[in-house]
Homo-oligomer: A and B are copies of this chain.
Amino acid sequence: MNRFILLFGLFIHVQYSTAQDKKVNFPEVDGYKVLVCDPHIHSVFSDGGVWPTIRVEEGIREGLDIVSITDHLEYQPHKADIPHINRNRGYELAKAFAQENQILVINGSEVTREMPPGHINAIFLQDANLLLNDDPIEVMKEASKQGAFVFWDHPSWPTQLEDGRVKLFEMNQQLLMGGLIHGIEVINGNNYYEGAVELALTYNLAMIGSSDVHGLTEWDYSLAMGGHRPATLIFAKEKTSASVKEALQARRTVAWHNSLLVGPEKYVAPLLQEIIKIQSAKYEGSFRMGEATVLSIILENNSEVEITLENASQYTFQQSLETVVIPPRTQKTIFVKTEKKLKNIEIPFVVKNAIIGVKKHPVWILKSPLAE
């Protein structure tokens, strides 16, 4: 029977590794690598639909840097078929598969309780089995003891929503005040939680984006059509587990989905600075209208994120509205009318697709000397 295993091992390896890499690349920011992480994923080891190795391959194909498969500790609908007692098992299988690949796999679990405290993810666990405890406060203390990074999942589920803000039960407050919660999902699947942004800023929590995928990411996010799963951008010194953990503990994150970037201004602003680049800025010799005072400025979007800028200056644009949309990895030319020829230009833009607080957007300033 040994020959079988050999042959099939080969078979499976070939089958699984024909991925056409679809890379996602963010530029470095302030000396940090910007890593793409999905920290909330399910497999057959709780109520997901795929083997943990498929989750690793999905991640590699989508260009992620880090995944954590976080099966429900308490909710085990496949128990009749997978009667495992080892809650680290999904991680072990994923980790072994990923070994030679360029993706980091982090051990994690989802603590799954009714409100309060609701659902809470703990990643960077040493031993998930030690979290099997009826008392949720004790569970969180154990996670802390293991040095885990703990974040509150989809914080408006199922009952706590009220007027956009998140309802805080006493137990939630206790966890927050006690430093037992370090992050909060501001994006989960297709949902953006405004109330969670408020909590993150109030309690100094890392803002997290995750897919919470149960089926296939292709089905949920139409990857082949150019879609992408929600994720957390982590500003890490290196692409290592230790660096990622350090970055999370320091709250250096921005949540990302489609065109949406959500995070504190101190990380969102320099990220935009690296993403939006001025390719050139000069007066057109003689464009159609023969005007000497029409400035042509080429902007480049150096990322996978669609950028939406709103003109916050008094300048008028010749060929477009005050709203400038720059699709991923493209350039856009804007034409700015100035009364007379200038030596420098400075135009503030509100970045409408980025969020740094409740209904609050960062400003990006187009600033350039002008070529003759």
Contacts and interface: CB of A to CB of B under 8 A. Distances in A.
Interface stretch (A74-82, A120-128, A267-275): A74-82
A192 interface: yes
A123 B157 CA distance: 44
Interface residues of A, number: 83
A177 interface: no
A119 to B, nearest CB: 11
A31 interface: no
Contact of A339 (B10, B112, B163): B163
A170 interface: no
A371 interface: no
A96 interface: no
B157 A289 contact: yes
A106 B161 CA distance: 45
Interface stretch (A1-9, A32-40, A247-255, A362-370): A1-9
B288 A191 contact: yes
A288 B14 contact: yes
A158 B290 contact: yes
A16 interface: yes
Nearest to A83: B83
Contact of A215 (B54, B286, B359): B54
B19 A219 contact: yes
Interface in A277-302: 286-291, 293
A61 B319 CA distance: 24
Interface SS, A side:
loop
Interface in A159-198: 161-164, 189-192, 194
Interface of A: 1, 3-5, 7-8, 10-12, 14-16, 18-19, 44, 47-51, 53-54, 57, 61, 74-75, 77-78, 81-84, 89, 93, 112, 114, 154, 156-158, 161-164, 189-192, 194, 214-216, 218-220, 222-225, 259-260, 286-291, 293, 308, 316-323, 337, 339, 352-353, 355, 359
24 contacts: A5-B77, A7-B290, A8-B47, A8-B75, A12-B47, A12-B214, A15-B220, A48-B51, A54-B215, A57-B215, A81-B93, A154-B289, A157-B289, A189-B288, A192-B317, A216-B218, A218-B224, A222-B224, A223-B224, A224-B224, A224-B225, A321-B352, A321-B353, A322-B359
Given A14-B286, A158-B291, A321-B352, 15 more contacts: A4-B114, A8-B77, A16-B49, A50-B50, A50-B51, A57-B219, A81-B84, A81-B89, A157-B289, A158-B289, A163-B339, A164-B337, A218-B218, A259-B321, A322-B359
